Amino acid sequence: MRSFSVPQAIKEIIISNDFYLKAIKLGIVNYTALANKIHKDVESLTESTVNIGTIIVAIKRFADEINKTNNSYLVANNNKNSDPSYDQNDKRNLEFSLSTNEVRMTLTGSIIDINFNNDSTLKDISDLLYDSSKDAFFDYNLIHTTKKVCLITEDIQESRKIILELKEKYNGKITEGLSKITLTLSDENIIVTRHVLYHIFDMINNYKITLKNAFFTNKEIILILGGGEAAKTYDLLRRKFFIGNK
C-alpha cells in the first residue's frame, strides 16, 4: 500500500465510481457536494488531513482534464470531414447539429414501465389516470398500439400506488429501474424529426446500446433505456447534436 497525492486520490476515487465519472462528464456535478462526500476517502488514501477547498480544486482540475480529452477526441473525429476517403453521407452525418433553441433534451431516472397486452383496456386506464391526477400530480406517457397499452411514469410515491392498482386490476407487467430521455422539438417539423431519429438510431447501433423502447410524434421523441446506459446515451446525444452550439 502507498499513500496518494490529493490529485491522485481524486482520480482514483472518481474513476472507480461510475456515477461520479458520468456526472463529471455530463457537467452536472456539484464540486462542493462531491468534495464533502469523498472527503474521508481522500484523507484515507492520502493518509493526511486535507482541506475541503483543496479537494474542490482537485476535482475541478480533473474535470477539466476529462473534458479536454473528450474535446480532443471530438476534434479528431470532425477533422475526418477533410478526408477524401469519407463519402458525402459520412460528411453530412458529422455536420448535422441542432441548437438548444430547436430541441430541449432531458434525462429522467427512476422510471417505471407497465404494459397491458389487452388494448381494449385503454379507455378504462385513461379514465383512471385522469381521475387520479386530479388528486395527485404526476407526469406520465400513455402509449397505445394495436396490440397493447403502455404506461411510462416516474417511480414516485404518487404514481406507485396507481401503478400497483392498475397492475392488479388489468394484469399489467411492470419493469422497474429504467430511465427516460425526452427530446422536445420547438416546431412540428417531421423532416427535422426524421433527421434526429436517423442520427439517434445510427448512434445507438454504432455504440451497441440496448434500447428498451422508443416513441415519437412530430414534436417529441422518447427513449426508454436501462438505468446503466441512460447517462452514456444522454452524453453521446448531447455531444452529437449540441457540441458546436454551446
Residues 6+ apart with CB under 8 A from 32: 52, 56
Pull the grid cell for residue 224.
426508454
Q: In the CATH scheme, what is the code of domain 103-242?
A: 3.30.2130.10
pLDDT digits over 2-35, tens only? 568 899 899 889 888 877 887 787 777 788 888 8
Q: Write down the domain spans for the chain.
A: 6-81, 103-242
pLDDT digits over 121-137, tens only? 788 888 888 777 666 66
Q: What HEC string does 187-237 produce?
A: CCCHHHHHHHHHHHHHHHHHCCCCEEEEEECCCEEEEEEEHHHHHHHHHHH
For 111, 122, 133, 161, 221, the CA distances from 166, given in Å and listed in that order, are 16, 11, 14, 9, 25
Torsion of CA 226, 231, 232, 237, to 10 degrees: 110
Residues 6+ apart with CB under 8 A from 63: 24, 29, 31
What does residue 7 show for φ and ψ, rounded to 5 degrees?
-60, -40
Q: What is the mean pLDDT of residues 211-225?
A: 88
pTM of the model as a whole: 0.56
Would you state the pLDDT for residue 96? 59
Pull the grid cell for residue 39.
472527503
What does residue 17 show for φ and ψ, rounded to 5 degrees?
-120, 110
Average pLDDT, the chain: 79
Gap between the Cα atoms of 44 and 41, Å rounded: 5
Question: What percentage of the chain exceeds 70 in pLDDT?
Answer: 82
